[in-house]
Structure 1
């Protein structure tokens, strides 16, 4: 590793001062057609969606470009074992329904259908209202006096910096993952840029927007109105240089626009 990359985490010790923003527009028609055919063989309650294709594509890119599957802790750069993606969902579409967060390991050896089923199983507990281990821990912690809670959070962060957090503590914590993905399109919203979290080890935040029609340049001299959706990224540039990341985003866009390869 180049010495400059080793010293960057000490020059920019937080994710807040190290983020880079990027936006992509994805043509949706190939994915829409693919999903129509793919879902003919699936039960209606477990239909694959655009969000599933995005999760699959992200997992594939992180497998192919492992230097993006890193994180900074305590000024040191670590390679993560496995591809872990965190994502959030509402318990129901009611306005006051609670939001819950899930985390799942993605194995590129599984088929697309197996991945879709796995995501549904991960979401099932939250949508049924069952408390996760993380929910129970947080409920216990917030009962503590604020002064005690602040000290405990500082201790946890310091242990993370020293690589001393027990695996049992981070196994189900959604803030310890390769990437966090939010699907605002599922509630009819446009994509927005989301901050990275200082707590945990997530270096990349991806937000997916709603499906809409927009002008697209076709070839060199034509403009057509096509179905598209936006992806917006917040990226911790300390884990790898921008050129490597840009090539990964090109690959992600290609996979989403050629979903048969997923």
Structure 2
């Protein structure tokens, strides 16, 4: 079977152990390669960091946007998680793309708009906050999104033709032949999907992966809950944020994934050590904007 060295969205990985190369042939589908794991993150310091950033006059920052920014930076730091499987081969993705949802309003029947965005390795937090805020506002106020229009077009087909069209879509995708217009906004062609259930005041679930697309990571952010923990030798109440991961084990081994998640936890629990003082970060952001 001839395999392309490059696809439009990635480059073939050729330097890997044999046991990694054989895994997509043994575990042929994403759903049978799934690993679930949970993190409990002490988010107390991050909450204070966000509060001080906003008080210092930085662009309005939420805890979820901080999590998105840190997930993207983790994927840049740990690039072997930014891979995907296509046609039994492993590819490195061209760039870090995160997908997340924004509800138009907080109501049971409110539509959920999915946003997919590329995160550059040198992107500052302030630039990310402004760009994500604009994307969320646009998603909440815009009409029918391009992806929804494509879905309506597909669903207008008779069922037998729709089944053939979807099968053809997946056949072309496996060979890297899909045009960018069909995948550029599709949230399932991304490095990770990040779902914020905490904004709905509900606990995090372990989400499934999709066979559609090539996204190998799903992160669900739950609701912050006060929890008694041992801190500096004493039992104290800390603000704990549950993060629940779903991971396609074919892209990398569990130890690498666990260490990557641990890196994210350390950065969220010590934002000053990672990002500096929030007041200094706001001043640096203003200087960049003015230059």
Q: Is it true that 1:234 corresponds to 2:246 in the alignment?
A: yes
Moved over 6 A (4+): none
Q: CA deviation at 1:237?
A: 0.5
CA contact (8 A) 1:18 1:238 kept: yes
Partner SS for 2:32: coil
Partner SS for 1:88: strand
Q: CA deviation at 1:168?
A: 2.5
The 10-residue stretch of structure 1 (92-101 or 11-20) with the greater mean CA deviation from structure 2 = 92-101
Q: Is it true that 1:203 corresponds to 2:231 in the alignment?
A: no
Q: Is it true that 1:136 corresponds to 2:185 in the alignment?
A: no
Partner SS for 1:234: strand
Pairing partner for 2:109 from 96, 103, 106: 96
Distance (whole Å) between structure 1 residues aligned to residue 113 and residue 185 of structure 2: 13
TM score, norm. by length of structure 1: 0.95
CA contact (8 A) 1:91 1:129 kept: no
Q: Is it true that 1:30 corresponds to 2:58 in the alignment?
A: no
Distance (whole Å) between structure 2 residues aligned to residue 222 and residue 96 of structure 1: 45
- CA deviations over 1:95-142 (Å, ceiling 9, x no partner): 221111110001131211110111111112220042221111111111
CA contact (8 A) 1:100 1:126 kept: yes
- CA deviations over 1:3-52 (Å, ceiling 9, x no partner): 11111101101111001011001111101110111012447xx6211101
Pairing partner for 1:251 from 263, 274, 283: 263
Match of 1:184 in 2: 197
Q: Is it true that 1:81 corresponds to 2:99 in the alignment?
A: no
CA contact (8 A) 1:27 1:227 kept: yes
Pairing partner for 2:28 from 13, 16, 31: 13
Pairing partner for 1:193 from 198, 203, 206: 206
Match of 2:280 in 1: none
Pairing partner for 1:3 from 1, 18, 21: 18
- CA deviations over 1:69-113 (Å, ceiling 9, x no partner): 000011110100110000012101122211111100011312111
User: Pairwise mapping of residues 36-185 of structure 1 onto structure 2 (< 5 A)?
Assistant: 36-42=51-57, 47-185=60-198
Partner SS for 1:16: helix
Partner SS for 2:97: strand
Q: CA deviation at 1:178?
A: 0.1
TM score, norm. by length of structure 2: 0.86
Question: CA separation of 1:130/1:42 partners in 2, compared to 1, >3 Å: closer, same or farther?
Answer: farther
